[in-house]
Amino acid sequence: MGDTTTASILDRCRALGFALAGVASAQRSNRVAELRAWLEAGRNGSMSWLEDHLELRIDPRALVPAAQSVICVADRYADGRPDRRDRSLAGRVARYARGADYHTALRRRLETLRDELRRTHPKHRFRACVDTAPILEREQAARAGLGAIGKHTLLIEPGVGSWLLLGEIVTTLALEPTTSDAALDVCGTCSRCIDACPTAAIEPWTVDASRCISYLTIERRLPIDPTLHAAIGDWIFGCDICQEVCPHCQPTRRSRAAKRHPDYAPVRTTLDALEVLGWNEDDWARAGRSGPLERATLAMFRRNALIVATNTCPPERRAELAARFRTVAESSEEDPMVRETARQSLSRLARPEPTAKDSAQSEES
């Protein structure tokens, strides 16, 4: 890169295929008190790494000494079109994980930009960050003008949605920040994400990760509280409900015209729950070869499959499913977490199917 102004960097970001780009001044987070309170309340669940390197996380100048600027980019991975749900025992995969691994797809282009900047400015430092580095990326992106943080805590590009994957370059190079209104409220009185969350994990601008379906199915390495099983519905890996109901995320002419990077073209939308229940290590490795699905272990996938199969099982297949689950529950070679989930699922299958009268009474109450 010859000319290295904010405008030239943003032009280069667009040429590299990023949907959005901006620049924020490197400064300490203004949400430190809220973050500490969230961690102290245990709302990070078992994600203990969120407590690690906290000082680096809350100030990019600690992550990169003498940092002056944060270059923020975003890839768009979906346009909000609803899923077709016409098959029982099918577990849905969150949209971000239906295509290529964003850690690789986004990082490759971000590192190209970083390397170009290093060659132009050899005396400056440039650190590329994609999800795994300790940085509050949504706050940085909001400061750079890429959007505003919604009540579900995701970054929203107004009128287009929160189907965004974020990356940053923290640098000692002083750049002109892009115009932003990080305090912009794009939600107003809307509470659709809060009302729609099946596990009541969302409160305005905060999420109890320990109850979030994405956390439960992707991060939790232990059995899931059986009182939350039914709420998981047909989500076998992740969850998009809070985005599916958001007014900004609805499929419109504008959102369909907004550029989605081809790397995220879906190669999978669902996984057959009974097939997953029969997976071995090789099957799991093949399924996760593209990257995102590797986050959950084989035992976690089998646990999730038991829950999804129970939730989506048609009445005529309950006996078949119970026999399958009983084999899993009684196998001494099975992972203890999977055995326990199989027993819990058998208990749920043994309950009488609700009748039309039961459903009517439930709605009246």
Token output for 332: 């001494």
| Rounded CA separation 360/365 (Å) | 9
| Rounded CA separation 9/86 (Å) | 45
- Nearest Cα to Cα of residue 147 among 195, 184, 197, 114: 184
Q: Is 131 a catalytic residue?
A: yes
Alpha carbon distances (Å) from 283 to 97, 120, 280, 336, 358: 17, 46, 5, 20, 41
| Rounded CA separation 142/350 (Å) | 49
| Rounded CA separation 355/45 (Å) | 37
Q: Which entry of 131, 225, 272, 283 is annotated as an active-site residue?
A: 131
Q: Are strands 235-237 and 90-93 parallel, antiparallel or unpaired?
A: parallel
Contact between residue 72 and residue 144 where contact means Cβ atoms under 8 Å apart: yes
The strand pairing partners of 74, in sequence order, are 20, 166
Going by C-beta distance under 8 Å and a sequence separation of 6 or more, which residues neighbour residue 216? Answer: 199, 224, 228, 232
| Rounded CA separation 165/96 (Å) | 8
Going by C-beta distance under 8 Å and a sequence separation of 6 or more, which residues neighbour residue 362? Answer: 354
**Residue carrying the six token digits 């996984």:** 271
Residues taking part in catalysis:
131
